[in-house]
């Protein structure tokens, strides 16, 4: 197995090298018919990534099979939380097996998954979760928006479990109403004291204490987990969130959280060796997400997200198709995204952080992505909004470097094809920590605007074509910018223009571009309109 993995990884690296040298044919960018649950093969295919990552092995379970309801009649619409939890606990204690939720509507509160148990939802099975806080007590250890707390955890929760699964073709449904949906939002930075012991950070809604909305499926410090085939609907917060886990596979899952504020799809947080494939997401926020803890609390724990592959996934609505951050404190590294389709998202590829976030992202690779984006196609936003970080969102003046200064570096994006309503590429770096060594190649983008680069170092756009209504490139505080074999066209045949400061102009190299640099109208940045 390991030799096969090494061979597959080496083959992937050789393919990338040969393609960069112009010596290999390109694999086609998939259409929506080739991604998502309907296209999923029965078995997990070998991993091919530009880093060493073993192909996951599907967990096997003891032959013991227990079906919910077979041990006695259940009253219609009565909660089955206690009975289902007892089956999970007893099966785990007996060495493991499969718990089957048969077809029907089952009302539950928080379920806690255990080691060596497969919770299987048969076709037609629906687990409907309570909206009452008391059904998610006592508080459990978790993270909320990258901060460690004692809280409601998740509608489904696991802590330090291993070799377990949620499978089947059933449906998980969040509460339509109730206090669990109604917690005040945007208060985590103000309410969570990073200097206090985690056990004292209790947010359970009791005795006047605040509470935070639980994630849908929360896995904390778990190993060898599989989530396959199920559908999630109407979650109250982020949907599938492995936190500080090792060895997680999410495949063939359908998530619908349209209209849910912060309704992220799959958020891989401070976890390693994670595969997310053949999923379909339509969300009220980011679709496929990487996070690594927040601010000083995330720096303290120092848990990166690393060795993650997203492949053959579909998004049909949301903010970021794939999003890194903004919680970057532990570091996001060795991530490979390939063969995905992102339709009707705000940004196809979204890299974000903020000055106090800490950490950053590096060794990130993306290839073969098709998209339609309402705003920018590729967007690096390292400053954020004054709504969240106040004056730190202001670009100037440059700040001193601190342990909480974030970074993005060594990002490779190739073979992307689509249309967007904003810039083809927009980079908002930080003056004291510019976005560094971002290389985009083989991009075919129809956009409202061409390039907007601010505080970028060693940025490259290669072998690409941009068709735009506004053929303008803006460069601000950029160093060593390379455009090679880039074609910029306008349906109205407008003249291309370049707005830049002196240092950005001095560091700009345009090779074999159309039009050539001599035909661009150049405007000093202070006179740009």
**Domain assignment present for 165:** no
Segment 12-24 shows an average pLDDT of: 40
526 pLDDT band, cuts 50/70/90, is low
The model's pLDDT over 309-341, given as tens digits with 9 standing for 90+, comes to: 999 999 999 999 999 999 999 999 999 999 999
CA angle 80/211/217 to nearest 5° reads 50
Segment 3-27 shows an average pLDDT of: 43
Q: Does pLDDT of 372 surpass 90?
A: yes
d(CA 369, CA 415): 7
**Domain assignment present for 121:** no
**Domain assignment present for 501:** yes
Tell me, what's the pLDDT at 13? 38
Global pTM? 0.93
Tell me, what's the pLDDT at 262? 94
d(CA 509, CA 472): 16
**Domain assignment present for 434:** yes
Element (H, E) at 7: helix 2-20
Q: Does pLDDT of 210 surpass 80?
A: yes
d(CA 294, CA 270): 11
Tell me, what's the pLDDT at 73? 67
Q: Does pLDDT of 59 surpass 50?
A: yes
Q: Does pLDDT of 19 surpass 70?
A: no
CA angle 337/280/228 to nearest 5° reads 90
**Domain assignment present for 420:** yes
Scored b (16 or more CB within 10 A) or e, 292-318 reads bbbbbbbbebebbbbbbbbbbbbbbbb
Tell me, what's the pLDDT at 71? 76
Q: Does pLDDT of 431 surpass 80?
A: yes
The model's pLDDT over 378-423, given as tens digits with 9 standing for 90+, comes to: 999 999 998 888 899 999 999 999 999 999 999 999 999 999 999 9
Structure tokens at 39: 């296209």
Number of structural domains (the chain) is 1
**Domain assignment present for 468:** yes
Of 71-75, 128-132, 190-194, least confident by mean pLDDT is: 71-75
d(CA 38, CA 212): 35
Segment 464-473 shows an average pLDDT of: 96
Cβ-based neighbours of 392, under 8 Å, separated by 6 or more = 354, 355, 356, 383, 384, 399
441 pLDDT band, cuts 50/70/90, is very high
Q: Does pLDDT of 18 surpass 60?
A: no
**Domain assignment present for 13:** no
Segment 433-445 shows an average pLDDT of: 99
Tell me, what's the pLDDT at 25? 60
Segment 209-215 shows an average pLDDT of: 96
112 pLDDT band, cuts 50/70/90, is very high
**Domain assignment present for 493:** yes
451 pLDDT band, cuts 50/70/90, is very high
Q: Does pLDDT of 8 surpass 60?
A: no
Query: What is the DSSP-derived secondary structure letter of residue 293?
Result: -
Segment 63-70 shows an average pLDDT of: 94
d(CA 186, CA 263): 14
Tell me, what's the pLDDT at 14? 35
Query: Residue 517 is part of which domain span?
Result: 377-382+392-529
Segment 469-477 shows an average pLDDT of: 95
Helix, strand, coil shares, percent, the chain, to 5: 15, 45, 40
189 pLDDT band, cuts 50/70/90, is confident
Tell me, what's the pLDDT at 2? 35
Q: How far is CA 12 from CA 83, 129, 336, 409, 495, in A?
A: 48, 43, 12, 22, 41
């Amino acid at each position: 197995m390991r030799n096969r993995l090494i061979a597959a990884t080496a083959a992937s690296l050789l393919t990338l090298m040969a393609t960069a040298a112009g010596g290999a044919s390109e694999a086609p960018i998939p259409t929506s018919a080739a991604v998502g649950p309907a296209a999923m093969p029965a078995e997990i295919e070998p991993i091919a990534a530009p880093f060493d990552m073993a192909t996951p092995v599907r967990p096997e379970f003891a032959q013991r099979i227990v079906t919910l309801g077979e041990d006695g009649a259940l009253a219609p619409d009565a909660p089955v939380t206690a009975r289902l939890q007892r089956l999970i606990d007893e099966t785990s204690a007996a060495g493991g097996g499969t718990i089957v939720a048969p077809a029907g509507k089952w009302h539950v509160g928080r379920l806690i998954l255990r080691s060596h148990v497969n919770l299987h939802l048969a076709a037609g099975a629906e687990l409907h979760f309570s909206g009452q806080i008391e059904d998610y007590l006592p508080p459990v250890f978790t993270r909320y928006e990258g901060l460690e707390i004692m809280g409601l955890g998740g509608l489904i929760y696991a802590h330090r479990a291993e070799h377990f699964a949620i499978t089947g073709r059933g449906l998980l449904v969040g509460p339509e109403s109730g206090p669990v949906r109604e917690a005040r939002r945007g208060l985590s930075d103000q309410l969570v004291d990073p200097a206090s012991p985690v056990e004292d950070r209790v947010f359970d809604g009791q005795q006047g204490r605040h509470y935070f909305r639980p994630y849908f499926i929360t896995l904390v410090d778990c190993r060898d987990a599989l989530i396959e085939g199920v559908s999630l609907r109407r979650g109250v917060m982020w949907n599938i969130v492995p936190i500080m886990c090792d060895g997680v596979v999410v495949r063939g899952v359908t998530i619908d959280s349209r209209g849910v504020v912060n309704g992220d799809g799959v958020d891989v947080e401070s976890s390693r060796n994670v595969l997310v494939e053949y999923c379909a997401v339509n969300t009220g926020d980011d679709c496929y997400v990487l996070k690594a803890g927040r601010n000083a609390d995330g720096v303290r724990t120092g848990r990166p997200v690393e060795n993650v592959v997203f492949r053959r996934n579909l998004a049909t609505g949301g903010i970021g198709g794939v999003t890194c951050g903004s919680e970057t404190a532990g570091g996001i590294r060795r991530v490979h995204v390939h063969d995905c389709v992102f339709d009707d998202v705000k940004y196809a590829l979204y890299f974000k952080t903020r000055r106090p976030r800490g950490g950053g992202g590096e060794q990130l690779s993306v290839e073969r992505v098709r998209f339609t984006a309402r705003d920018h196609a590729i967007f690096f936003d390292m400053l954020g909004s004054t709504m969240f970080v106040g004056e730190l969102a202001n670009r100037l003046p440059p700040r001193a470097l601190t342990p909480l200064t974030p970074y993005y570096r060594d990002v490779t994006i190739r073979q992307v094809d689509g249309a967007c309503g904003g810039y083809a590429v927009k980079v908002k770096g930080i003056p004291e920590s510019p976005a560094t060594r971002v290389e985009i190649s083989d991009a075919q983008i129809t956009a409202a605007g061409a390039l907007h680069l601010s505080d970028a170092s060693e940025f490259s756009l290669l072998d690409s074509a941009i068709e735009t209504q506004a053929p303008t490139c803006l460069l601000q505080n950029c160093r060593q910018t390379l455009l090679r074999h880039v074609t910029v066209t306008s349906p109205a045949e407008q003249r291309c223009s370049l707005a830049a400061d002196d240092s950005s102009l001095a560091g700009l190299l345009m090779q074999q571009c159309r039009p050539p640099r001599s035909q661009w109208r150049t405007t000093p940045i202070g006179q740009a309109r």
